[in-house]
Amino acid sequence: MTTSKHRFALWQCAVILCVFSAFADATFGQVAYYVRAGATGANSGADWNNAFSTLPPSLIRGATYYVADGSYGAYTFDDDANGVLVITIKKATALDHGTGIGWSDSYGDGAAVWVGWEVVRPYYVFDGVTRGADWRSGYGFRVVTGGKYGINLFYGGSSTAQYITIRYTEVQGQGLDNSVHDDGIYSPSGCHHVKVQSCYVHDVGRAPILTGFSLDWLIEYSLVARNSSDASIHSEGLASTADSGFVVRNNIFEDIEGTGFIVCLNRGSGINVCSNWEIYGNVFMYSEGNPYNREGVGDGAIAVINQQVAQNWKVYNNSFINIGQGPVGIASRVIVGGDGQTGNTNVQVYNNFWWRSDAANNVLSGCTGCESRWNRYDQTTHYTEADQQDNVTASTSVFVNYASKNFHLTSPSLGGTTLASPYSFDMNGNVRGLDGIWDRGAYEFVGGSNAPPPAFSGQNILSTGSSGLASVMSPINYRKESLR
């Protein structure tokens, strides 16, 4: 039987819970605000009727800002940290837009577009939520380089950008072979703990991604495509100086010119150690016929040069496709210590696949405990290695659909060496070696169609397909490390 005492106690509990909830919201900023270009209401951000017409100058720690389609100009994220409270900038969609007050699905079926982001404080999450299954379209956020940079993550002086996550965001440069020399994501001076997930960085005048003196970066499930390099401004796909703890996995690097696809190099800073790099499950490629007239890479696909020292590097199960042949390219190799720099240790180049590429003569010089082994070479010049698979010719029939850039295998390779998790999954989440053969290259042969894996928790893939690139290039979350 419920007595008056019991009813009073229950009422007290309810009041306490309500007060605590209100206190938590007020204290930790667990609220949502709404941003819509062209909004004409009270400009309070309270709902879609009264949305901010652009992001306000000051943002609240712990809050989520839902952003509708539209153009928003340039923005500087400079809100002082409050412990580890994160500010989340999130694309509003029909499936996830916070309050329904004043909402129209037309607000969420396109992109929110900026002309440059400057991030000078820590703890931000930028989440565009969607992209197309081709990895080239349908991004919820698009950042166009307004001058030299698309996204500038700066740490130094009064700037303290760290702990930054960027997801489902397209970073678009000013085009190729012009005088702009812009970078996509620019972080030259120690911005630590950064995640670049499911992004598209493309058509820039210098480096799609430039980093320096940083720790703990994760770059995954992203398409890095097309840059420019010339005699006065050298460039790379990922240009790094003195960085450590980088994981670069399950990406596509396409039509990159300059020094190399991934290069650790000296920017006048002397000898630096670049330690604990993991580069696995990626595709490095040139489009057939070189339609963008890129001029190839000079030092190697992956290179550590100019007094940079590689220690504890893992280069596993990558595919190097069509890098060279004819006038394009000089080297598709992995090179460490080729400039005479000593001190390199524990560099492993295992289970990779070079297909019709120039000069894959992997160089591991001045390197203790370093080895290139269990690699496959189809119509590719290379040094003799232990346990190599060497095919004189390179047939497009080894791929499911070469013309559509679907580089899944149509048959197994010779078995590579077995590796522990997290290297035991390919880009689609297929378990490597499950059929008794650990295939070489980015994709594990599974003998049938490759179903697209699920998206990150809470994310949305616009569409998937059953053939070509659309069926194989969607982000996955098959283990906790994917979002570490």
Tens digits of per-residue pLDDT, 265-314?
987 767 999 999 999 999 999 999 999 999 889 899 999 999 999 999 99
Give Cα 388 distance to the centre of its chain.
30
Query: What DSSP line would sit under 102-134, residue for residue?
Result: T--GGGGSS-EEES-EEE-SS-EEEE--EE-TT
| 217 & 260 share domain | no
Tens digits of per-residue pLDDT, 110-120?
999 999 999 99
Measured distance CA(119)–CA(152) in Å, rounded: 6
Predicted confidence band at 74 (pLDDT cuts at 50, 70, 90)?
very high
- pLDDT score for 330: 75
Q: Is beta strand 308-316 parallel, antiparallel or unpaired with respect to 149-153?
A: unpaired
Handedness of CA 259, 262, 266, 271 (dihedral sign): negative
Average pLDDT taken over every residue of the chain = 87
Is residue 13 assigned to a domain?
no
- pLDDT score for 338: 85
Domain edge (last residue) among 235, 269, 295: 235
SS (H, E, C) 201-240: EECCCCCCEEEECCEEEEEECCEEECCCCCCCCCCCCEEE
Amino acid at 320: F
Residue 299 near residue 266 (C-beta atoms within 8 A):
no
> Is the backbone peptide bond immediately before 422 cis, with ω within 30 degrees of 0?
yes
Q: What is the average pLDDT across 422-438? A: 97
pLDDT at 15 over 70: no
Q: How many Cβ atoms are within 10 Å of 368's Cβ, its own excluded?
A: 12
pLDDT at 16 over 50: no
| 171 & 315 share domain | no
Is residue 9 assigned to a domain?
no
Q: What is the average pLDDT across 4-11? A: 49
When mean pLDDT is compared across 4-18, 341-355, 458-472, the lowest value belongs to: 458-472
Q: Which range scores top for mean pLDDT: 3-12, 333-342, 383-392? A: 383-392
- pLDDT score for 159: 84
- pLDDT score for 10: 47
| 230 & 262 share domain | no
- Only one residue has tokens 């893992």, namely 314
Q: What is the average pLDDT across 367-378? A: 97
State the first-to-last Cα distance of the chain, in angstroms, to the nearest integer: 51
Measured distance CA(146)–CA(76) in Å, rounded: 13
Whether the model pTM is above 0.85 = yes
Q: What is the average pLDDT across 334-361? A: 94
- Only one residue has tokens 């002086």, namely 157
Measured distance CA(30)–CA(22) in Å, rounded: 10
| 228 & 311 share domain | no
- pLDDT score for 452: 47
Residue 334 near residue 358 (C-beta atoms within 8 A):
no
Is residue 377 assigned to a domain?
yes
| 273 & 205 share domain | no
When mean pLDDT is compared across 152-156, 294-298, 466-470, the lowest value belongs to: 466-470
Which residues form the domain of 145?
29-235
| 195 & 281 share domain | no
| 282 & 216 share domain | no
- Only one residue has tokens 């577009």, namely 113
Task: Phi first, then psi: give them for residue 105, nearest 5 degrees.
Answer: -60, -20
| 112 & 185 share domain | yes
Is residue 24 assigned to a domain?
no
Using CA atoms, how far residue 109 sits from 92, 240, 308, 440, in Å, is 9, 36, 46, 40
| 230 & 296 share domain | no
pLDDT at 27 over 70: no
| 38 & 179 share domain | yes
Q: Domain count of the chain?
A: 2
Residue 37 near residue 72 (C-beta atoms within 8 A):
yes
Is residue 191 assigned to a domain?
yes
| CATH code, domain with 165 | 2.160.20.10
Predicted confidence band at 449 (pLDDT cuts at 50, 70, 90)?
low
Q: Between vectors from CA 286 to CA 131 and to CA 431, what angle results, nearest 5°?
A: 60
- Residue of higher predicted confidence among 241 and 452: 241
- Residue of higher predicted confidence among 157 and 127: 127
- pLDDT score for 329: 63
Is residue 87 assigned to a domain?
yes
When mean pLDDT is compared across 107-121, 187-201, 361-375, 465-479, the lowest value belongs to: 465-479
- pLDDT score for 150: 97
Domain edge (last residue) among 235, 269, 297: 235
Q: What percent of the chain has pLDDT over 70?
A: 85
pLDDT at 19 over 80: no
Tens digits of per-residue pLDDT, 308-331?
999 999 999 999 999 985 555 678
Is residue 2 assigned to a domain?
no
Is residue 209 assigned to a domain?
yes
Predicted confidence band at 471 (pLDDT cuts at 50, 70, 90)?
very low
| 287 & 375 share domain | yes
Tens digits of per-residue pLDDT, 29-45?
449 999 999 999 999 99
Domain edge (last residue) among 235, 267, 290: 235
| 261 & 223 share domain | no
